[in-house]
Structure formats: structure tokens, C-alpha cells
Amino acid sequence: MIVNFLHNNGRQPEDFLEALEWRILVKITFFSFFAILIYMSYDWMHSGIQKAIPSSSALFLYGGSIYLLLRYKRKALVKHLVLSLYVMSVTAGFFLMGGFSNIVLLDFMNILLLITILSQRRVRLVYYALISIVLVVGAWCSLVAPHWIQNNRIGDPIYLVGLHVMLRFVLIVVNSFTIRREFVKENKVTRELNSQLIAANGAVEDQKAALEKINAQLDELVQNRTEKIKKLNLKLIDYAYFNAHKVRGPVARILGLINLLNFEDIDEQERIVYLNKLRDCVEDLDLVIREINDTLEEKSPMEVVY
């Protein structure tokens, strides 16, 4: 029933999580694209095209990611490609933006949040392992080989650094509100579904009670008719007994006396004797018929059945 309700409302059972993941990933990619665009514009205007090449390359990659996300909606391969791009981007940011700076730490926080939301358990463990390796290598480079770490943004003005930090915080807040809003909408749908299920359950209980009442009435009706049919069967047995023994005797005697009366050589006195005996036989037959009527005074089998 739940699945049917989701289908009837234009939703597949797996649409909620897929849509939520896709919206979060698109928003994060747009924010990242916008942040890199600010870097590229600043580098182009203040240091020339040579310094803007790294940010231009990153801008091209994130622009391609946005195209893939919009072109192939909710495809698992595209999602993992974009997540892998984020991991590589954060790793490159560590080595090109002065190691564990505030911006890099916020990027790591964002990528961990993103992986936690968008990845299944086994894939999530792979990403966690990969980021753990990046963090261990980064810590080792900070302590043992700091010359591997550069800071290409060391000359950036404070307002540019503050703008990027603010963008990272806005990105975290937007993700949090997006998750909360989607789950609030899903809870509303769930409450509506629960209300419909409760109403349907009440209707089912009413129908069950009505069916039980009908079954009880049918059982009582069948039992009553069965008892009546049994009684009538006993009456039919009695009727067959009367017909075979008590009715047949008087009728046979009446037929015998009628045959005797048909003889022409009997005198009048004998005729009177035969007529008296015939009267006695008729009275006997009348008594038997009265007895049968007293015994079979209930309804006939046809009336009971129908």
C-alpha cells in the first residue's frame, strides 16, 4: 500500500534520497564554481593570465561537472566522478594554498559532509580511507617536507580571503537547510500516508466485523435448516412406515370386501355383513390417516428448504 501511495503521488520509493543527493551536489558544485571564478577573476586582473591558469583549469573541470550533473541527472557514475573531483581538488588545495589553512580545513569539512550524505556505506568507507590517506600525507609533508607545500594565495588581500571563508560557511549552512527542508517535506508525506493507512485500517476492521456478523448469521441459519431437515427426514421415515404397514392393511381389506360384494350369488344377509365389515375397515383407515396427519403436521421439506 505504501508503494502504491507513492506511485499515485508521482513518487518512486527511491526518489526522495536520489533527489536530495542530486540537489545538494548541484548546489555545492555551483558554489565551488563561483568561488573558483572569483579567484580566477582576481588573478587575471591583478597578476595576468599566467597566474590565472590553475584556477582556469579548475573552473573548466567544475563547469564540466555542472554540465554532467544537469545532463545526466541522478546517475551514480556522474555522482562518483564529481565526488572524486572534489577529493582531488581539496588535495590540490592543500599543496597549493599553504597546507592546513582555514579555507583548506573548511574544504575538508565540506567534502566529509558531502561524502557522508551522498555515499552508500561501502563506498563511503572507501572515500573515508582515501581522505585519511590525504590527511596523513598532508601531516607528514607539514612536518617532514614542508617545501612540498606552496601558498599561491599568500598575496591575496584580506577581503578576498574573508569572502572565500564566508562562501565555505554559507555552503555548509545551505547544505544543512537543504537536508532539513527535504526531510520536513518527507515527514509531511509520511504523516499523510499514516493518516490514510489508519483510515484504511479502520475501514478494514469495520468490514471484518460485518463479515463476522454475516458468517455468524449464516452459521445459525444453516444449523436451523439442518435441524429442520433432520426432523422432516424422521417424519418421512414415519410416513413410509405408516404407508407400508398401517395404511396398507385397511386398504387391502377394503379391496377384498369389494371383490366379495361383486359376486352375484351372495344373499342379502351376507351382503349386509360385508358392508358392516367394509364400514369397519373404512373407520380403521380413517384412524390411520388421522394418526398420519397428527405426526406430519409440520411443514413439508420443500417449504423448509426454500
Q: What is the pLDDT of residues 209-233, one digit of tens each?
A: 889 889 888 888 888 888 888 887 8
Taking the CA atoms of 78, 84, 87 and 92 in sequence, report the sign of the dihedral they define. negative
Residue by residue, what is the 3-state secondary structure of 232-255? Answer: HHHHHHHHHHHHHHHCHHHHHHHH
- pLDDT > 70? residue 303: no
Angle 130-133-134 (CA atoms, 0-180°, nearest 5)?
A: 90
For 157, counting Cβ atoms within 10 Å of its Cβ (0-12 exposed, 13-18 middle, 19+ buried), the class is: exposed
- pLDDT: is 210 or 35 the higher one? 210
Q: What's the pTM value of the predicted model, to 2 decimals?
A: 0.51
Domains in the chain, CATH or no CATH each? 2-202 (no CATH), 247-305 (1.10.287)
- pLDDT tier, 11 (very low <50, low <70, confident <90, very high otherwise): very low
SS3 202: helix
**pLDDT (tens digit, 9 = 90+) per residue, 232-280?**
788 777 777 766 667 777 788 788 878 877 776 777 777 788 788 888 8
